[in-house]
């Protein structure tokens, strides 16, 4: 199967007051259709930088980035982004915030009835249909993030890019949304690339975990394939020895191999 995203020999440098800073070097990665890939590593290892490159929010200093066999020239509707901050417009209702993305992608070729149906289906998918007419200040942080996810899915992107989408939430809300995402990804077959600091989250949600070396000049250290059947049940996996093995392998990389190198 042809990869949906190809990352070939990517390097990224930034100009600073102290001179050139190399954030990433020699990044090579293929991402297949329907695959869920997590990027994990210590702070400053370039996870978000790599995600921004795939999103087209920044352009690489060297190398080539392809999505569906086309070079990524900048942002595009085929690559939707969900940030840690939900980024909802406070003067719009939940429905209006989702409709904003839907109109940008489908507004010129579809009528109002179909556009509305897309929004309603997306809200239903994340169990937020009851909040259609509510404003962001009237709902909780977890609900706001659900709306952000609904907006992204409603745009029917080829790939969903998530930058620590649950990082600002309390533990119980985060766990609930992780389970929600597991269900949505199983249902839609979405292709997802997600930045996370949470090892359990990476193992629970991912097909592969890309472990980054410490920065500066970070690169891919190891890639772990997570061969756990879907749909995944958090409580069942808590007693699964394979889940424990994958979790231990990520911790081994992050806290023995990388911390030892940094010492």
Local confidence pLDDT in tens for the 263 residues of the chain: 679 999 999 999 999 888 899 999 999 999 999 999 999 999 889 999 999 999 999 999 999 999 999 999 999 989 999 887 778 999 999 999 999 999 988 998 889 999 999 999 999 988 899 999 999 999 998 899 889 989 988 988 999 999 988 887 888 888 888 888 888 888 788 899 999 999 999 999 999 999 999 989 999 999 999 999 988 899 999 999 999 999 999 999 998 766 666 55
Beta bridge partners of residue 82, listed in sequence order: 162
* H helical segments located in 75-168: 94-106, 112-125, 141-154
- How is residue 55 written in tokens? 């999103």
What pLDDT, on a 0 to 100 scale, did the predictor assign at position 221? 95
Q: Are the C-beta atoms of 221 and 213 separated by less than 8 Å?
A: yes
What pLDDT, on a 0 to 100 scale, did the predictor assign at position 260? 61
Question: Cα–Cα–Cα angle for 90, 94, 99, nearest 5°?
Answer: 105
What pLDDT, on a 0 to 100 scale, did the predictor assign at position 1? 65
What pLDDT, on a 0 to 100 scale, did the predictor assign at position 251? 94
| Closest CA relative to residue 150, chosen from 195, 183, 104, 119 | 119
Residues 6+ apart with CB under 8 A from 205: 36, 38, 178, 181, 182, 185, 192, 194
| Integer-rounded Cα radius of gyration of the chain | 19
The predicted model scores a pTM of: 0.91
CA gap 24, 46 in Å, rounded: 6
What pLDDT, on a 0 to 100 scale, did the predictor assign at position 96? 96
Give domain limits for the chain: 1-69+159-263, 79-156
3-class secondary structure, 93: coil
CATH architecture for segment(s) 1-69+159-263: 3-Layer(aba) Sandwich (3.40)
What pLDDT, on a 0 to 100 scale, did the predictor assign at position 113? 93
Beta bridge partners of residue 210, listed in sequence order: 39, 223
* H helical segments located in 196-240: 199-205, 234-237
What pLDDT, on a 0 to 100 scale, did the predictor assign at position 231? 85
């Amino acid at each position: 199967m042809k990869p949906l995203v190809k990352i070939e020999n990517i390097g990224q440098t930034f100009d600073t007051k102290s001179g050139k800073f190399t954030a990433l070097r020699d990044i090579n990665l293929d991402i297949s259709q329907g695959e869920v890939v997590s990027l994990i590593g210590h702070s400053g290892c370039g996870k978000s930088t790599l995600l921004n490159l795939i999103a087209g929010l920044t352009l690489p200093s060297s190398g080539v980035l392809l999505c569906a066999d086309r070079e990524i020239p900048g942002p595009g509707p085929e690559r939707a982004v969900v940030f840690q901050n939900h980024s909802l417009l406070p003067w719009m209702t939940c429905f209006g915030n989702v409709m904003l993305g839907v109109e940008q992608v489908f507004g010129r070729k579809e009528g109002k009835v179909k556009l509305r149906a897309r929004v309603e289906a997306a809200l239903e998918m994340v169990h937020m249909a009851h909040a259609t007419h509510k404003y962001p200040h009237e709902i909780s942080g977890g609900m706001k993030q659900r709306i952000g996810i609904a907006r992204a899915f409603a745009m029917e992107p080829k790939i969903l890019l998530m930058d620590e989408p649950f990082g600002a939430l309390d533990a119980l809300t985060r766990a609930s949304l992780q389970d929600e995402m597991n269900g949505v990804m199983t249902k839609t077959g979405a292709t997802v690339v997600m930045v996370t600091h949470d090892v359990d989250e990476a193992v629970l949600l991912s097909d592969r975990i890309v472990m980054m070396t410490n920065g500066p000049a970070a690169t891919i250290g190891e890639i772990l394939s997570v061969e756990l059947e879907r749909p995944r049940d958090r409580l069942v996996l808590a007693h699964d020895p394979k889940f424990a093995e994958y979790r231990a392998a990520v911790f081994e990389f992050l806290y023995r191999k990388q911390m030892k190198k940094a010492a």
